[in-house]
Amino acid sequence: MNLARNIVVEEFKQATLEEQRLEIVERKGLGHPDSICDAVLDRVSVELSKEYLKKFGAIMHHNADKSLLVAGEVETRFGGGEVKQPMLLVFGDRATEEVEGVRVPVGEIAIRAAKDWIKENLRFVDPEKHMRYQIELKPGSAALTDIFKRGDRILSANDTSAAVGYAPMSPTEQLVLKTERFLNSKKFKKEFPAVGEDVKVMAFRKNNEVSLTVGAAFVDRFVESEDDYFKKKEEILDQLCQFIRGNSNFKKVDLKLNTLDARGRGVDGTYLTVLGTSADGADSGQVGRGNRPNGVIPLNRHVGSEAAAGKNPVSHVGKIYNILTHKIANEIYTNVPGLREVYVWLVSQIGKPIDEPAIAVTRVITRSGVNIKSIRGQVVETMNNELEHIHGFCRDLAEGKYLVC
């Protein structure tokens, strides 16, 4: 079915981000408290979706997108400290608990999803000992719940909202993403187990030179003394330098690691954790404060305010459009020749089918000599194709096939 959608294609008359003089990019890594919240609550949505499909043949109303990870209390020591008070993970917002007398154990599913994710991703966090759980998932409002009872193949949007995505990622964005993933790779952890999962990367590019600051939580059981800490830090810096030389073409990369460190101050002058995440005793986390759906926090780009993590994958445009805009932008950039940069906006209208956005906008930066008129039809066709197949896209979201952070 080819709907007469409200699609606008425009030429974007500005320099690409790569050509601009200044750029700032951040990534909060796997074990950052905000990233933990995003990943865990999205796993909750995936597991709830599975249970709803199993029991009712359809995904019921839920939005598990409000969460707080309350930091615990630890005593760090060279050679290994101790956990004095566990972290607290609060699950919040809405989830259907009963349909026509058939109950869904929402709380049990949420806690099991959290424990499974922690076991898979945080080497030193015991989800039984080091975490407490508080369920605040309540039944949804009658109006929003009714959307799921209408039997439509394509559900109506549950909100009037907007999202924006872009392609391609700039070299700076790619470097930030690759650096964090390198530090959290299984191969790196095997060689340097002292580096915890809480890794944060901040990049500032000025022309063709990049300043890269990395914060990496060390696990105190692998650090014997202050001298041992700084020795390991130098070894890790050397590995990072080698990695960056092989994964970037910048004229210069100024790399720094754990810049708050101060020799002569013992434990207090080093970045130590007991469990590999600052949430064990320092920093709390929340859903939506971390990376955008493509994995970075791009301060020079257009971005939306919605958090994708935890929202239901069949009617909540805050999730669907947040991720779909990046997918559409990538499809356009990959398949339509003559483009240098692509931005896509989707605006929903509550109650209107999600495959019929109120407006869908693509703005493109073209290569020299490319006329916008010559490629407009291909762009519109790509956008229409993606929206026509949104049902399959939502199914993939429900199965957790797209990362949200």
Return per-residue pLDDT of the chain as tens, 405 residues: 457 899 999 999 999 999 999 999 999 999 999 999 999 999 999 999 999 999 999 999 999 999 999 999 999 999 999 999 999 999 999 999 999 899 999 999 999 999 999 999 999 999 999 999 999 999 876 455 665 666 657 888 888 999 999 999 999 999 999 999 999 999 999 999 999 999 999 999 999 999 999 999 999 999 999 999 999 999 999 999 999 999 999 999 999 999 999 999 999 999 999 999 999 999 999 999 999 999 999 999 999 989 999 999 999 999 999 999 999 999 999 999 999 999 999 999 999 999 999 999 999 999 999 999 999 999 999 999 999 999 999 999 999 999 999
Residue 60 within a domain: no
Residue type, 374: S
Residue 241 within a domain: yes
Q: Look at residue 156 in the predicted model and tell me its pLDDT.
A: 87
Q: Look at residue 158 in the predicted model and tell me its pLDDT.
A: 87
User: Could you give the number of structural domains in the chain?
Assistant: 1
Residue 195 within a domain: yes
Q: Look at residue 94 in the predicted model and tell me its pLDDT.
A: 94
The pair of three-digit structure tokens given for residue 112, joined into one six-digit string: 């099991």
Residue 296 within a domain: no
Residue whose token pair is 């519109």:
380
Residue 266 within a domain: yes
Q: Look at residue 337 in the predicted model and tell me its pLDDT.
A: 96
Residue type, 199: V
Q: Look at residue 348 in the predicted model and tell me its pLDDT.
A: 96
Residue 342 class from Cβ within 10 Å (0-12 exposed, 13-18 middle, 19+ buried)?
buried
Residue 345 within a domain: no
Q: Look at residue 250 in the predicted model and tell me its pLDDT.
A: 97
Residue 383 within a domain: no
Q: Look at residue 1 in the predicted model and tell me its pLDDT.
A: 47
Q: What is the CATH number of the domain that holds 255?
A: 3.30.300.340
Enter the pTM of the model.
0.95
Residue 400 class from Cβ within 10 Å (0-12 exposed, 13-18 middle, 19+ buried)?
middle
Residue 390 within a domain: no
Return d(Cα 242, Cα 235) in angstroms, integer.
Answer: 11
Residue 252: domain span: 19-28+171-286
Q: Look at residue 154 in the predicted model and tell me its pLDDT.
A: 81
